[in-house]
Structure 1
Amino acid sequence: MTGDQLFLFALFGVVFAFFVWGRFRYDLVAFTALLVAVMAGHVDAASAFEGFGHPAVVIIALVLVVSRGLVNSGAVELIARVVIAPDRSMPVHIAVMSFVGAALSAVINNVAALALLMPLDLEAAAKAKRAASLTLMPLSFATILGGMITLIGTPPNIVIAQYRARALGEPFSMFDFTPVGLAVAVAGIAFVALFGWRLIPERERAKAVRGGEDAGLYVAEARVKEKSRSIGKAVQELYPLANDNDITIVGLVRRGKRLPGFSRDEVLARGDFLVLEGDPKSIETFMGAAELDFSGSEKHDGGVAGPSLTLVEAIVTDNSRIAGRSARDLRLQYRHGVTLLGVSRSGRRFRERVRNLKIRPGDVLLLLGPRDRIADVAAWLNVLPLEEGRTQLLQRGKATAAIAAFAIAIMLSVLGLVSLDIALGLCVVAYVLMGLLGGTEIYEAVDWRVIVLLGSLIPLGLALEESGGTRLIAETVVANTHGAPIWVVLLVLMVITMTLSDFLNNVATTLIAAPIGLGVAEAFGVNPDPFLIGVAVAASCAFLTPIGHKNNTIIMGPGGYAFGDYWRMGIFLELIVLAVSIPVILLVWPL
């Protein structure tokens, strides 16, 4: 072992130790390691930051941005809403949610897919009066499995494809991962739906209560716009839709006056205002489903479907400018372009119109306006925005156009007319022109920690490979599997990769394991593609811990899971992945 190899092995050992410890952010650890390698002369200073321009880094960033655009268009929600049916049996519910989650994860970032479906799963659990822990983990695992189906479904596939381009001259294409990924996803989902969920302990969801049972409910107004599907219906005809979205219709405003009672039998006409009670996301979703606009929407381009509009929850203090006054007194909408959509007052209802209501200290306001302006207005009002109290308004009327733009981009890449990064870039430009994405939102959509991690580890991985370090590891694997069938060698490589991925970021795992897989294939004189595909599959399979994949971390709080809950189902799922993937890999990618 040379001095260069010793140094780089030691450096990676320290990096992995810090990753597992979790005391410091993994992107800062990787960036620091890169600088250490540069100062020690093991990475050329002139090429130290070339990893940030690597195609894999660009593609991952663009996939995240495109995912945000699809979410903003409501395209994903249209698919997701059909899966809610609390009267389904547990296996059927898990199967439906899992297949939808896997399908979404194949075309958008799997973290985004889980973020969209998790509230629906929690809602279904609440309506069916069952523990959410029984269904959240299967959903998380399904979105991870679905990411393996296409090139853009998960970062390890992107990294492996670009590594193949550098090492062998041509990357994997969009659907090269599909045969193996689809087989693994179907087998994995069948397991979690039929048997896996029974291995999960029932745990109560951790509840975050803000001042009482109904403290998070707002009273808001929604305008019946021109050509709305609600025109001509009695108010009570909207009750089933309201119930599906956890909304209560508490009244009707017509010609500026609140009608008596709940106005159940009143027939809705253009310009009427429904008075709604619910949480911000439920209000937004109901308005989209019933084709309603917010009060004063004519002052915003496109109404509820206007670009980059955000709901923000903010607490009124004694020193707030709006305390003791109304939104109408401050001319909030006309002077600042921000609408007071709703007010939460400790669960109390009121008969005044929202814009005329005298605001009190302790009220929580639901403000709506352009993303780039609403923060300044909140500061001017001297109200305290809640850290997690933001809800993006979906532009459901643009869902078809958003799907078409994405499909065209993928088709251009599949046909070889443009590279994948250029195709996705064109899709992002189209979304900006449609108003689905704003300038600030593009940068917010990117997980810069992953970008810094990947950009930092790529030069380190190249340095280890050039020093002969990865070849040394490959030779060790070969020596310890001498005389064994080739499928055993592939199994050993995948088990090693899976174990790393359960404790490390899957991008980091892929960058280390890919050269090892190539080295093992070269040592045996066989086709390297089965080993590269095996690394991609194994790096995505982080089912034993809550830290191996972001989706597992996201569900930990809402599901009330303990650290040791994941392996109960995860260990069997990883064994199934190995049992299914290895035969399919060797069939599709013969040696």
Structure 2
Amino acid sequence: RGERLDRRLAAVELRLGDVVVLRGSAARMPEILRELGCLPLAERAILLGSVRKGIVPVVVLALAMVATAFGLLPVSVAFFAAAVAIVLFKVIPLRDVYQSLDGPILVMLAVLIPVSDSLRSTGATGVVAGELARLGTLLPASGALTLILVAAMAITPFLNNAATVLVMAPIAAEFASDLGYRPEPFLMAVAIGAGCDFLTPIGHQCNTLVMGPGGYRFSDYPRLGLPLSFLVVIVAVPMLMIVWPMN
């Protein structure tokens, strides 16, 4: 930010994209960088972690994926166990785990879970899906799938990707049922659409992460993201219909 810091770093709020010049003992520099959550730019030879701590997550992730692929464990159990193993092997300090928890996101997801259930129990999903199905009857199968994909992509900038799935998944399943299609391609369309927000810097963490270092403005995202969104739709719809047949 072009200013000289002469106070304790604990009193300074570092933002994404900030560049800090540090002077100190080379032996302590890796530890200091880890505590600050920074990456070395000038001295690339600085090693922030040990080789063991780099191998353990890869092995644990591979075991979780194998257990899931062969049906030994449910996905939720396998990856929760992998996360616990990472902490038990001290790859990530427990303090960092607590600090990485995003309170507002957790609260929002906790609130939206009963909202998603209430949409199903009150019949609201049926109403919304019915209105969409009226439009869907005028469209071919690819058009109906595109409709759900675009709807998910339109909602996810205002929520986050997980919340969009919670809201859209029951609607997509009901929509597919009303049109006589299998639900799998429509649910996958929701998952893809929820994870493909290129129109705003706030819809996904990666968009926010590159905004500062890249010098992007808010208007840059829709200008560049809209063509990319069209590309996702053009590629995703036929691939979904091939991998998950509609009937």
Equivalent residue for 1:394, pick from 42, 49, 71: 49
Deviation at 1:474, TM superposition (A): 0.7
Equivalent residue for 1:565, pick from 220, 242, 246: 220
Equivalence for 1:426:
81
The whole-number CA distance in structure 2 between the counterparts of 1:453 and 1:428 is 22
* Secondary structure at the counterpart of residue 27 of structure 2: strand
1:463 paired to 2:222: no
1:216 paired to 2:24: no
Equivalence for 1:281:
40
What TM-score results when the alignment is normalised by the length of structure 2? 0.81
CA contact (8 A) 1:210 1:216 kept: no
Unaligned 5+ segments in structure 1 are 1-207, 224-278, 289-392
The whole-number CA distance in structure 2 between the counterparts of 1:450 and 1:215 is 29
CA contact (8 A) 2:153 2:194 kept: yes
Aligned length: 224
CA contact (8 A) 1:546 1:556 kept: yes
Deviation at 1:285, TM superposition (A): 5.2
CA contact (8 A) 1:509 1:539 kept: yes
**Structure 1 range deviating more: 568-577 or 500-509:** 500-509
Taking the TM superposition and a 5 Å limit, the aligned residue runs for 1:467-546 are 467-546=122-201
The whole-number CA distance in structure 1 between the counterparts of 2:189 and 2:159 is 17
The whole-number CA distance in structure 1 between the counterparts of 2:39 and 2:122 is 55
Tell me which amino acid in the other structure corresponds to 1:469. A
> Deviations for 1:323-362, whole angstroms, at most 9, x for unmatched residues?
xxxxxxxxxxxxxxxxxxxxxxxxxxxxxxxxxxxxxxxx
The whole-number CA distance in structure 1 between the counterparts of 2:220 and 2:158 is 15
Equivalence for 2:101:
446
Tell me which amino acid in the other structure corresponds to 1:220. S
Structure having the higher helix fraction is 2
CA contact (8 A) 1:470 1:519 kept: yes
* Secondary structure at the counterpart of residue 437 of structure 1: coil
CA contact (8 A) 2:56 2:91 kept: no
Judged with a 3 Å threshold, the aligned counterparts in structure 2 of structure 1 residues 283 and 427 are, in CA distance, closer, same or farther, namely farther
Structure having the higher strand fraction is 1
Taking the TM superposition and a 5 Å limit, the aligned residue runs for 1:55-70 are none
CA contact (8 A) 1:458 1:511 kept: yes
The whole-number CA distance in structure 2 between the counterparts of 1:582 and 1:493 is 10
Taking the TM superposition and a 5 Å limit, the aligned residue runs for 1:304-319 are none
Return structure 1 stretches of 4+ with deviation > 6 angstroms: none
Tell me which amino acid in the other structure corresponds to 2:152. T
Measured on the aligned residues, the alpha-carbon RMSD in Å equals 2.4
> Deviations for 1:9-66, whole angstroms, at most 9, x for unmatched residues?
xxxxxxxxxxxxxxxxxxxxxxxxxxxxxxxxxxxxxxxxxxxxxxxxxxxxxxxxxx
Share of identical aligned residues, percent?
A: 34
* Secondary structure at the counterpart of residue 99 of structure 2: helix
> Deviations for 1:159-190, whole angstroms, at most 9, x for unmatched residues?
xxxxxxxxxxxxxxxxxxxxxxxxxxxxxxxx
Equivalent residue for 1:577, pick from 232, 238, 241: 232
Deviation at 1:532, TM superposition (A): 0.5
1:403 paired to 2:162: no
Q: Which has the larger radius of gyration?
A: 1
Deviation at 1:539, TM superposition (A): 1.1
CA contact (8 A) 1:517 1:531 kept: yes
The whole-number CA distance in structure 1 between the counterparts of 2:158 and 2:66 is 36
CA contact (8 A) 1:395 1:436 kept: no
The whole-number CA distance in structure 1 between the counterparts of 2:117 and 2:41 is 49
* Secondary structure at the counterpart of residue 202 of structure 2: coil
What TM-score results when the alignment is normalised by the length of structure 1? 0.36
CA contact (8 A) 1:218 1:280 kept: no
The whole-number CA distance in structure 2 between the counterparts of 1:447 and 1:528 is 32
The whole-number CA distance in structure 1 between the counterparts of 2:212 and 2:46 is 29
Deviation at 1:472, TM superposition (A): 0.5
Deviation at 1:407, TM superposition (A): 0.9
CA contact (8 A) 1:413 1:420 kept: yes
Higher relative contact order (CA 8 A, sep 6+): 1
